[in-house]
Every structure is written in C-alpha cells, then in structure tokens.
Structure 1
C-alpha cells in the first residue's frame, strides 16, 4: 500500500458521514480510496445532500501528532491488522496503536465487568487475568474502573491490550493514568479515535466492539442488567466468539447480568483453565491476516428514479433490516446498497447494529 493510498484511506474514514460500513462499500466499488474520495460529492448529490471529504492537511496533521506521541496506524489490509478483529462486522478501517502490536496476533481473551465492582469480583478478575497470562493468553479490556482495571493489573506483566474510547493521548478515568502508560509501554494501547478526542457516551459501545473483536472469547465477571459489559458479550456472541460468565449471588444486582448470561447459554467460568478450555485452538478459517476482504457487494451505478423511490418508500424512522428492504423491493442487492450509500453520504440515513438502517 503506497503512502498516498494510506493517507487517502485515513481521509476517507475521517470524512463526515462515512463509517466502517460505507467505507467498505466505497472501497469495494472504487478499488482505491483516492477514487472513492473523488466520487463522494456526486454520490451524496444523488442522495439529495452535499458530500464532504476530510481535508488532507488536517489528516496529515493528525498523523504527525500521532507519531509525536509514539503511536502508529494499523489500516485494514495491513499485514499486522488484528486478524480476529478483521472478521467483525463494522471493524474500524483505521486503528491508532501504541506498544507491542504482536500481542494482538496471540490468543486473546476479553475480561469485562462492572465499574462499581465488588472487592471480591475485582480480586477474582485480577487472579483470572494472571492465570490466563500464565497459560499464554493475552487479556483484552477497556481500561475502565472496576473489573477492567483489575484485569489489566493482573495481566500487564504477561501481555495485555487496553482499548480506549478516546484519543491515544487522553486518559479516562484520570486515576488510571499510570496504568494506561504501563499498558502502552509493556502491552498494547488501541483506539480508533484521533489524538485529542475526549471520551463521549457514544464512543463506548463502539469501543466494546473492538474489545469483543480482538478476542476469541469474552468473560463477564460482574455486570448489572443492561450494562455495557453485556453489550460486549452480545457483540462477541454475534461474531461467533465464546461468551463466558462468572456466576454470582442472586442477592447482588451486580451479578444479575452474569447469571442471566449463563441462563441464556454462556459458559460458566470458575478459573483460567475453564476459559482456556472454552476458547480451544484457533480455527484456521478465522485467520486471514494481511488480506483486505471488503465484505460488501460492490454497489452498482445505474439506479433509476423509480427504483430509488421504491427503496426510499420502504424506509422510515424505525430501523429496518437491510435484507428485508432488499426482499420487499425485489431489486438487485447492489442497487439497494447504492441507494443506501447515497442517502448516508447525503446525511439522510443512519446505520444501526445488526445491519439495520433508518431515515433521519
């Protein structure tokens, strides 16, 4: 990949209204990021809006800032882009990393849980992380308070990956400044956000998909119902990864999420040996390191106004599955994807989890 193509790909993902799905579709259709950037304004105009692309100088400044911080970029298609994450729907086209990238190529296990975790749960998470490290696994977590912090503390000596919902130069929570520095120095620190980005509520579910995507399995140690840790577990399950949970007292609200996961089929975990048995050996079919596979079907170009109107008529404010839209309109998937892409670039369409879309 040339340096110009690397710059263009970063410009493409930094452009307004272009996310991981539309990035893949644009790359599938145009082949190079440069061609995609040139096509964005015309595609957005067809969708009834005005398309914009990221300024090259702003992206070059971002790259310089990242390098000054000792960080580097991993782009989808790079040989060392994490191969398990590459399988994840909506995987980030660009990561900013600091530390030992080779850790992501080893057998990884995510440990997540409550921020307001009990002392017993924190101790268990720390011990579990130590046991996994001794077994040769790398522990992935989110550098949050509670279980995440304990998981990193227990594995930083053997290998840990911290995924953050902010810029590589931002610390959150503030009390984890020393731990975050240690992870970046002795482990691997990962983000998809440019330097200086502050942690916003909407960034955390996106961070959780990276945590789940990096790991062969996710262990939830302690979690209340509807917590972010359960989002990570759900994403792991949807990606075909193992979902594991540590049981707790039914009298403790912080254990209800884990107990519910076990009722729904998650593997009950009592020690590191249980985890290693559950994740087993890595299926060779999941390894396609260094290969850029844009899963989206290349979008077509010839859409009549009648076809466009028929597709838009099936959309509304409530999220609808894309495959259902395709079934109902009876048009070729490439035509439907083209119209959805045009609407998204025009700012008229939102994408949701589970391949669903809605009109703004």
Structure 2
C-alpha cells in the first residue's frame, strides 16, 4: 500500500479493518501521530516502535482491497459519512465518555449528533401502557427541541423512534450492526425513515452482523450522545439497565418511570430509582432538568454551523454568553480549578461540590469553551 497518497477516509478504513486495533489503540495512535494518514504512515515507516502487533502490521501493509472498495463505495453515497476521532465533527458529548468509539459511521444528517438528545430505552416485550408512555414522552420531548436517541430495538425503542418522527421531530438510532444493516429486520421501513429525517449511527464497519456482544457496546454510545437517559419499563435483567448504568458513569442524568409493584417490567425502574435515578411522571420534569444543558448544546451546534451559511447562528463560539457569571457554585468551581489541570475528585475536595454536580457543570463549561477536558479525566481552563 502507498500510504503517502491515500486520503483520510481510506486511511481510517485501513486502520479499522486491521485485526487487534481496538478503539482505545486507534485513539492512542491518532493522538500520537495527529490524524489517520499520519498514523498509518508512521506505523508502516517504523513498525518496530509503533506498538502494533504483527497481524495488524500484515493487514496494514496488504489490506483487503475488495473490502476497502466496498467500504468506500458505501461512503460515496449521499448522506453517508464517517466521523473519526481526528475530526472536529466528532460529537463533543461522546468524546467525554470513558471509552469513546474511534469513529462513527452515519447514514443521515451527521450534524444531528450535536443536537441535545434524550435517550429513551426500555423493554423489548413492553406492555401497551409502556408503549403509550414512550410515545407521549418522545412527542413532548421533540416538541421541546430535543432529539430522541435509542437503539432501534422492538418495544420501547421502536415506539420512541416512531413517535418522534410522527411528531415532526428528530431521532437517532444507534445500531449494534454495521450501519448498512437493519436489526431487527422488521424495522427496515423505520430505519429508512430515520435515515431520511434523522440519523442511523454505528461504530461498526459496514457489513458487521448483529453479534450479542455488540449491543452492550452500542448502549454506551446511546448514553454518551445523550444529555440524559429515560428508562421506561425494564426488568431487572434488561439491557436498558446497562444503558442507565453507563449514563450514570458518564455523569449524565438518569430518569426512570415508576410502575405497579406487581408489574415485573417496573422492577428495573424501581431498582434504578433506589440507586439514585430521578423518578419522573411527566416529560416536563425531564425538560426542566436538562433545559440549561440543552440550550448550551444548541448554541454550540449553531456555532459549528455558522461557517456553513446559517445566517441565524453566532459567528464563533466566543460570542456565546456566559449564563453562569453570577452563579456562586460556578464561581467556586472556577476558583478551585484556577490555572491547574485537576481531576474531579480534587475539584470536589477543593470546591465542596459533589462529583455528580461537578460533572454536569464541567460539561456546560466545556461546551461553552470555558473549560477543556484533558486526558485521564482531568480538566483545565481553556486557552482562548
């Protein structure tokens, strides 16, 4: 392979098709070399010092040209995208999670990954009451300006997607397959609607089938793209509880809807509430909790789109107002941070604020450009 002449997309696909190069390794290579082309050139130029295993080196020197051609043919179709770790289009919220994907394949409007999103998840074997609740919450949330994010599964996921679309809103489906496949197959028409009016998203290469281990990995992206996760009907063994746990670990809000003590599909939600999830009965409670974060993320999206000809968007992130200028908690946080690079635990100790509160506050400040997230869960003031 002539690594000097290939473009960024081909370099990414070559790296992702190589065995033994997982997301963490790929992110590390990008951060070490700067971008995918430089990473590929650097590995091939100095294989002994690259840290890349021999099977991957063989695949990088002699990639499967047929697979690459198929991948590139998919990317050449309208509204088909790849967003790598080295791209400024990589969604800011997802970049902050503990194990972000190295890249995302998107079928649809990739800018929507920056929209304020609420994940709605729940049982595949949901009751009619649960489906009705999912529909009503999804409708109210999209009318308030949120996108609905879920996993295209049967039950609650599908109901939330359909309701968001029927209400004229936006929805994103994160897949446990390649973005060119649909699972379950019965959702082919729903997937087509989502691609036309939202986005299908996957970290998996085109053609990847729906293996069991892919779906828990998919769940961290659902949670990571979203400001909060709402669980509607879940048994204690439900995969939705994995999404909720990951959301909590990422410092995002978790909401759960209570149900009858006699309903086994309510027990997962009750368990979440006992563990600290917010009990909600109306969509307004979710909207009120996430409103400030949603506004900041919307401003960041408009800032990104302004160079592309959006006349209503601010011309730069620097024009965003600081809504926290007189908030004493934010003043305590910024005073504790000073001009150092600090962890959440040290910030909590210095400021007296809880880690959960700091996580949400730092997210707002990061989106506004006041704070930047460094490696290893560290934070510092922005240099701008």
- Pick from 7, 15, 19 the counterpart of residue 12 of structure 1: 15
- Secondary structure of the residue that 2:375 maps to in structure 1? coil
- In structure 1, what is the equivalent of residue 289 of structure 2? 278
Shift of 1:44: 8.3
Shift of 1:100: 1.8
Equivalent of 2:48, from 35, 42, 50?
Answer: 42
Shift, 1:94, TM fit: 1.6
Deviation (angstroms), 1:37: 3.2
Q: Residue in 1 aligned with 2:135?
A: 126
TM-score (norm 1): 0.75
Q: What per-residue deviation string (whole Å, max 9, x for no partner) do you get for residues 110-156 of structure 1?
A: 00000001110011001100000111111100000000001101112
Q: CA deviation at 1:39?
A: 6.8
CA contact (8 A) 1:152 1:160 kept: yes
Instruction: Give 1:242's match in structure 2, choosing from 253, 259, 269.
Output: 253
Give the Cα separation in 1 of the matches to 2:181 and 2:196: 15
Q: Distance in 2 between matches of 1:9 and 1:46?
A: 15
Contact 1:5 1:33 in 2 (8 A): no
RMSD: 2.6
Does structure 1 retain, via aligned residues, the 8 Å contact 2:13–2:71?
Answer: no
Q: Does 1:199 align with 2:210?
A: yes
| Aligned-residue offset at 1:24 | 1.9
The separation in 2 between residues aligned to 1:38 and 1:46, in whole angstroms, is 10
Name which structure has the greater RCO, CA cutoff 8 Å, separation 6+.
1
Distance 2:96 2:158 in 1: 27
| Correspondence 1:219-298 to 2 at 5 A | 219-282=230-293, 283-287=363-367, 295=375
Distance 1:271 1:288 in 2: 29
Secondary structure of the equivalent of 1:95? strand
- Going from structure 1 to structure 2, the CA distance change for 1:215 and 1:45 (only over 3 Å counts) comes to closer
Unmatched tracts of structure 1, length 5 or more: 298-360
Out of 145, 149, 154, which is 2:154 matched to?
145
Q: Partner of 1:328 in structure 2?
A: none
Tell whether the 8 Å contact from 1:250 to 1:256 is kept in structure 2 after alignment: yes
Shift of 1:18: 1.3
Q: Aligned with 2:7: secondary structure?
A: helix
Normalising by structure 2, what TM-score? 0.70
Three-state SS of the structure 2 residue aligned to 1:194 is coil
SS in 1 for 2:89: coil
Query: 1:245: how far off?
Result: 0.6
Partner of 1:161: 172
Q: How many pairs were matched up?
A: 293
Matched, 1:25 2:36: no
Conserved 8 A contact 1:28-1:294: no
| SS of alignment partner, residue 287 of structure 1 | helix
Q: Distance in 2 between matches of 1:288 and 1:196?
A: 38
SS at match of 2:139: helix
Higher helix share: 2
1:248 deviates by 1.2
Provide structure 2 residue ranges, at least 5 long, that are not aligned to the other structure. 294-362, 378-384
Superposition deviation, residue 203 in structure 1: 0.7
Looking at structure 2, the residues matched to 44 and 135 of structure 1 have their Cα atoms a distance apart, in angstroms, of: 49
Q: Deviations over 1:233-272 (max 9, x none)?
A: 1111111100111111121111111100001110011121
Verify the 8 A CA contact 1:7 1:60 in the aligned structure 2.
no
